[in-house]
Amino acid sequence: MAAPQHPSPNDRSDADDVEQHACPKCDAQPGSPCRSRGGAVASAYHTRRFTQVPRLKKALRVPTPTDRSPGRLWRPGTPPPTPIDPDLPSADIRIGYARCSTLGQELDSQLDALAGHGIPRDEIFSEKISTRVRVRPKFEEALRTAREVKAHAPHCRVIFTVYEMKRLGRDAAELTALADHLTAHFTPVSPSPVPRQRTGSTDSRPPGSGGGLWSPPTADVCKPPGDPGGNCGPQP
């Protein structure tokens, strides 16, 4: 079952407002439709649930929308985002990743550069593995950590930081695939670069492919300007 969308307040439907509440009858949690005794998505929301919405208190029935797949096997949906206190201080949280292709190569220069951007060396995800390898364990772990951090601190910007963009992939096609992966999990937050205190990356999408920042993870390059193989300004 596709997870329900969370529209803007002006576009909210009855179902969106009902699913802000847990169901006292079937124990469906916020973000999920009601379920029947047989374990399917119920054709309508239970009365004790939809009457928690003030404007629906006198309604006789609130049907389950077709995009919630009524009659299909029930699966939990995506909980609605927790409201963020506008007075809550925010901060950038960096997730560092370092990689070289062979066991004979060293990682110290990458680790030093990442540490110089406030990432403790013992918290940097590093590995010696070629980008030709389809699954890079530490890279996957770093992405997973970025997602978990963002889930627990939605008011903060999580920045996936590397020494240079080729640490992430071999070519534009591979970086485009990575950008699509990020888009599948996170929402673009800005179509334009965000000012930084130094020269570096402001865009995790390959040049020419459009798009803006992801949060998380935003990709950032900490390679000093002028170093061989490094580019300054917007990067893939």
CB 209 within 8 A of CB 177: no
Closest CA to 153 of 56, 82, 63, 236: 82
Mean pLDDT of the region 19-38 = 94
pLDDT value for 218: 46
pLDDT value for 181: 66
Q: Give the pLDDT confidence of 166-182 residue by residue, as tens digits.
A: 788 777 777 777 777 66
| Confidence band of 25 (pLDDT split at 50, 70, 90) | very high
pLDDT value for 9: 45
For residue 89, give both structure tokens.
């201080």
CA dist 206 and 191 (Å) reads 14
Q: How crowded is residue 33: how many other Cβ atoms within 10 Å of its Cβ?
A: 29
Which stretch of 75-79, 103-107, 221-225 has the lowest confidence by average pLDDT?
221-225
CA dist 127 and 138 (Å) reads 6
Q: Across the strands, what pairs with 218?
A: 159
User: Which span out of 139-143, 177-181, 232-236 was modeled with the highest average pLDDT?
Assistant: 139-143
Mean pLDDT of the chain: 74
For residue 83, give both structure tokens.
């409201």
pTM of the model: 0.47
Burial class (CB in 10 A: 0-12, 13-18, 19+), 34: buried
| Confidence band of 111 (pLDDT split at 50, 70, 90) | very high
CB 219 within 8 A of CB 157: no
pLDDT value for 222: 59
